[in-house]
């Protein structure tokens, strides 16, 4: 696992975009794993700018989302399918329907998880998976205490995660869904490259555990320590609790 500390979110976005540009140059039909939340937004802005400038193209790219809330209707502004359509898919030349997510509107959620896992497996899983990290160390919506070998599954969101995400719901924790569908940790680890972005001091403890802690289900992101090609991009605030040079 490689850690790079960069001064600003914009510098992080540029470095992350360089990784994706290199991938799409070498493999125009790459499989890209996408993440939601505030951390990847500058990256999506940078990718949009590079696409508009003709440096990269998403015309042959297939995308797979990490996760989705259960209980939000289609078109809801905080539904992750809406987020990805608004912030990436519609802004670049990616084909309509090329960005897939787990079907959190299905009557049988377990079956929907199995179907999504099979869809990713059939595609060969992701060439590059974009990741954020929760204050409690979750990646995707794999909350602390879950199995490190999990596949796509239904998960229950912790109060901490719901509190963190309440800012997207007018600071109303009661409006934040309690359940989600998420790629499992073992599913995420299938990606050929992991690219994690973290900014702000609120992520500092999670980054310290990720980089310097032991692999533990209590800090799910630590599973990344076992990946052959994982790049962690952070700002000084997110790196502020690291003790090793």
DSSP H helical segments within 63-135, as ranges?
A: 80-87, 109-123
Q: Where are the domains of the chain?
A: 2-234
Q: Is the pTM of this model over 0.75?
A: yes
What is the helix (H) or strand (E) element at residue 161, kind and residue range? helix 159-165
Residue range 23-82, pLDDT digits in tens: 999 999 999 999 998 899 999 999 999 999 999 999 999 999 999 999 999 989 999 999
Mean pLDDT of 164-183: 94
Paired tokens of 207: 């980054």
Q: What are the Cα distances from residue 129, in Å, to 7, 171, 191, 193, 199?
A: 23, 29, 6, 6, 18
* CATH 3.90.960.10 fits domain 2-234: no
pLDDT band for 245, please (50, 70, 90 cuts): low
Confidence at residue 153, expressed as pLDDT on a 0 to 100 scale: 97
213 pLDDT above the threshold of 80: yes
- Nearest 5°: phi and psi at 182? -145, 145
Confidence of residue 144 (pLDDT cuts 50, 70, 90): very high
Find, among 59, 69, 65, the residue nearest to 84 by Cα. 65
Residue 244 confidence class, pLDDT cut points 50, 70, 90: confident
Phi, psi torsion values for 207, nearest 5 degrees: -70, -40
The residues assigned a catalytic role are: 67, 136, 138, 143
CA separation for the pair 199, 239 (Å, rounded): 8
Cα–Cα distance measured from residue 82 to residue 151, given in angstroms and rounded to the nearest whole number: 24
Strands 179-182 and 67-69: antiparallel
């Amino acid at each position: 696992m490689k850690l790079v500390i960069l001064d600003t979110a914009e510098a992080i976005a540029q470095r992350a975009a360089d990784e994706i540009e290199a991938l799409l140059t070498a493999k125009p039909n790459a499989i890209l794993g996408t993440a939601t939340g505030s951390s990847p937004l500058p990256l999506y802005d940078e990718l949009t700018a590079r696409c508009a400038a003709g440096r990269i193209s998403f015309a042959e790219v297939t995308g797979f989302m990490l996760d989705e809330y259960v209980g939000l209707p289609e078109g809801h502004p905080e539904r992750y399918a809406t987020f990805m359509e608004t912030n990436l898919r519609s802004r670049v030349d990616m084909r309509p329907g090329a960005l897939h997510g787990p079907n959190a509107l299905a009557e049988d959620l377990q079956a929907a998880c199995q179907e999504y896992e099979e869809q990713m497996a059939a595609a060969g899983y992701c060439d590059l998976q974009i990741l954020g990290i929760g204050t409690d160390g979750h990646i995707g919506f794999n909350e602390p205490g879950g199995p490190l070998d999990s596949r796509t599954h239904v998960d229950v969101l912790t109060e901490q995660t719901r509190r963190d995400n309440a800012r997207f719901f007018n600071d109303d924790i009661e409006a934040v869904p309690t359940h989600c569908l998420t790629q499992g940790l073992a599913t995420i680890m299938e990606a050929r490259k992991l690219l994690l972005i973290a900014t702000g001091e609120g992520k500092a403890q999670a980054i310290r555990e990720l980089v310097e802690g032991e692999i533990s289900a209590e800090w799910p992101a630590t599973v990344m320590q076992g990946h052959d090609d994982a790049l962690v991009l952070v700002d000084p605030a997110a790196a502020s609790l690291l003790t090793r040079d």
